[in-house]
Amino acid sequence: MNRIALKKVAVRLNGGAVRGSSVRLARVMGVSLPTVRAWLSDPDDEAKYRRMTRGARRLLATMVLLDGAGLLDDRFIAAVDTFDQLLNEGEARLDQALQALHASSSEDGMIDEEEE
The 10s digit of each residue's pLDDT in 77-115 is: 998 888 888 888 888 888 888 888 888 877 766 555 555
pLDDT(20) > 60: yes
Q: Calculate mean pLDDT across residues 31-41.
A: 96
Identify whether the C-beta of residue 26 lies closer than 8 Å to the C-beta of residue 39: no
Distance CA(4)–CA(79), nearest Å, equals 29
Q: How far is CA 2 from the centre of its chain?
A: 19
- DSSP notation for 12-40: HHTTT-STTHHHHHHHHHT--HHHHHHHH
pLDDT(116) > 70: no
Q: What is the pLDDT of residue 115?
A: 52
Please tell me the pTM assigned to this model: 0.75
Cα–Cα distance list, 74 to 17, 23, 71 (Å):
16, 13, 9
Share above pLDDT 90 across residues of the chain, in percent, rounded to a whole number: 64
Residue (of 66, 91, 90, 4) closest to 39 by Cα position = 4
Q: Which residue has the higher pLDDT, 39 or 90?
A: 39
